[in-house]
Amino acid sequence: MAQRLIRDFVADLRDAFDLRDPIVEFGALQVEPDQDGDLRPLFPGRAYVGTDFRAGPGVDRVEDLRALGFADGEVGTALCLDTLEHCEDPPQACRELHRVTADGGVCVISSVMAFGIHAYPSDYFRFTPEAFRSMLGRFDDVRAAGIGHPEFPVQVVGVGAKGRSLDALDLAELPSLVAEQARWDGARGRIRLGALQLPARDVAGALARELPRLARERLRGAR
């Protein structure tokens, strides 16, 4: 879900809001050979720089989010998407993102929450929407939202603006987030277990494996 959703989310922001140049993506490395996370086609003809702390496909320059090599206010639009969970010091990373974002610019962040460990190369953290509001607190206006169950979102997104207002931006009305929330609410082919949704096939398989064990335990307890 994440790659498709985040690409659509960024495209919605591009269409609904003025994203200024240069656009710098922090965490641009295409880790897997078949990964479809390249955001450059969304900004044809625009000044776009891909950074990551490792060299590789999609990376124009190597950067450490905790100590960026960009000058103060050098970045028009900072994109840090599904990356903060892989950084050992996310609050410091967000301080750096604020520092390098230009007056009139924005910082866009996203991360997974209800999602398994995925080591690229390490996976450290999960964030709530309130955590995003806190980490973007140095910006002059902030929006954050979760997609999925309100108490345990699958994905969390946030936007921070520097020297400008986000009054014209309602994350809840962006088509990508509306559509993804509708898909989650529909739970097609999935079984709801509290805040979680699991594929029906997985639940059926787990029940087939676990019910005999539970029955044996109950019989032993009844003796």
Note the pLDDT of residue 118: 87
Average the pLDDT over 106-120 and give the result: 92
State the pLDDT at residue 137.
Answer: 97
Tally Cβ neighbours within 10 Å of residue 14. Answer: 16
What pLDDT is stored for residue 88 in this prediction?
Answer: 95
pLDDT (tens digit per residue) in 33-47: 776 678 999 999 999
Q: What's the gap between Cα 43 and its chain centre?
A: 19
Residue 116, SS3?
Answer: coil
Using the predicted structure, report yes or no on whether residue 127 has a pLDDT greater than 90: yes
Locate 3 and state its tokens: 């790659």
Question: So what's the pLDDT on residue 2?
Answer: 58
Confidence of residue 1 (pLDDT cuts 50, 70, 90): very low
Q: Which CATH number is correct for 2-186, 3.30.70.270, 3.40.50.720, 3.40.50.150, 3.40.50.300? A: 3.40.50.150
Residue-wise pLDDT tens digits, 138-182:
999 999 999 999 999 999 999 999 999 999 899 989 999 999 999
How distant, in Å, are the alpha carbons of 46, 131, 135, 165 from that of 1? 27, 22, 24, 30
Q: Residue 10 in 3-state DSSP?
A: helix
Q: What is the mean pLDDT of residues 91-113?
A: 97
Highest mean pLDDT out of 26-40, 86-100, 185-199: 86-100
Using the predicted structure, report yes or no on whether residue 83 has a pLDDT greater than 60.
yes
Residue 223, pLDDT score: 64
User: CATH 3.40.50.150 residue ranges in the chain?
Assistant: 2-186
Three-state SS for 53-105 is CCCCCCCCEECCCCCCCCCCCCEEEEEEECCHHHCCCHHHHHHHHHHHEEEEE
Q: What is the pLDDT of residue 217?
A: 87
